[in-house]
């Protein structure tokens, strides 16, 4: 019993330490974001890594998500003779939920892991201490460019993923189910309203911040050499996934139930 209570207490303290450290890093990052000098070159480098280099995997995942949605919908709607409504279902599912969440999870797994591993390696090799010795603030130099890049590129990637997913649904509806192309796109755009698009893009800004803060925080707190870097990378990705899902649940409730 004592060991059980001790484990609970230890886990609670670790969780509170994580939340406190994350809040502290977030506040310091926002503070340093608005202070000169502005490292535009580093921002562009991180934007390229987070955005442009993520396009192939986002394209592949989004296309197959759209195809799967259309196929699964067709299985039921064909019985009712309502194949035309697959377009609306695919568009709403992607723009509201699947586009933002799947894109964020892909970026967290690909870019977030790289951020945690890179900063963690710098931590164990004392490169971060060297930055401080050279009068360079590690938050300004390492975190701010990644924070800005992910906050900006994730909405753009989500817009792209939505389009590719809708194209995937188009391939099934038009080429397999016999729905006309004009009907497909008419039903797609008629079903969407500004609130759907805005809520999805708003989520991705929050998701980008979560990925940046969590992965940088885990990188800064690496201990134990190469093994510690591996553990921190795993923790960063898992924590990012959990917080993204939790944030998605909260924001969806906010937009569609609390302030409908």
Q: How many CB atoms lie within 10 A of CB 149?
A: 23
Distance CA 154, CA 205 (A): 7
List C-alpha distances in Å: 229 to 26, 85, 87, 147, 185: 21, 48, 45, 21, 47
Q: Are 244 and 154 in contact (CB under 8 A)?
A: no
Helix 194-220 to helix 2-33 angle (10° resolution) is 110
Query: Which pLDDT belongs to residue 72?
Result: 86
What tokens does 107 get? 């970026």
For the chain, report the end-to-end CA distance as a whole number of angstroms.
47
Query: Which pLDDT belongs to residue 181?
Result: 83
Query: Which pLDDT belongs to residue 146?
Result: 93
Ranges in the chain, pLDDT < 70: 3-4, 7, 78, 81, 259-260
């Amino acid at each position: 019993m004592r060991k059980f209570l001790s484990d609970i207490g230890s886990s609670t303290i670790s969780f509170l330490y994580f939340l406190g450290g994350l809040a502290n890093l977030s506040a310091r990052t926002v503070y340093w974001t608005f202070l000169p000098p502005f490292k535009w070159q580093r921002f562009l480098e991180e934007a390229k890594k987070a955005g442009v280099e993520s396009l192939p995997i986002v394209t592949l995942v989004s296309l197959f998500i759209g195809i799967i949605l259309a196929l699964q919908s067709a299985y039921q709607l064909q019985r009712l003779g309502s194949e035309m409504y697959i377009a609306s279902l695919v568009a709403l599912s992607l723009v509201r939920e699947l586009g933002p969440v799947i894109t964020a999870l892909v970026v967290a797994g690909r870019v977030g892991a790289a951020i945690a591993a890179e900063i963690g390696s710098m931590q164990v090799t004392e490169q971060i201490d060297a930055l401080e010795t050279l009068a360079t603030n590690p938050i300004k130099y390492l975190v701010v460019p990644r924070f800005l890049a992910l906050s900006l590129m994730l909405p753009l990637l989500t817009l792209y993923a939505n389009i590719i997913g809708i194209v995937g649904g188009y391939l099934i509806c038009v080429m397999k189910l016999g729905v006309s192309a004009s009907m497909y796109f008419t039903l797609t755009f008629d079903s969407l309203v500004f609130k759907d698009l805005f809520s999805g893009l708003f989520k991705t800004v929050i998701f980008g911040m979560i990925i940046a803060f969590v992965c940088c925080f885990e990188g800064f707190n690496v201990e134990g050499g190469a093994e510690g870097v591996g553990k921190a990378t795993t923790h960063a990705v898992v924590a990012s996934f959990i917080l993204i899902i939790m944030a998605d649940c909260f924001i969806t409730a906010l937009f569609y139930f609390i302030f409908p």
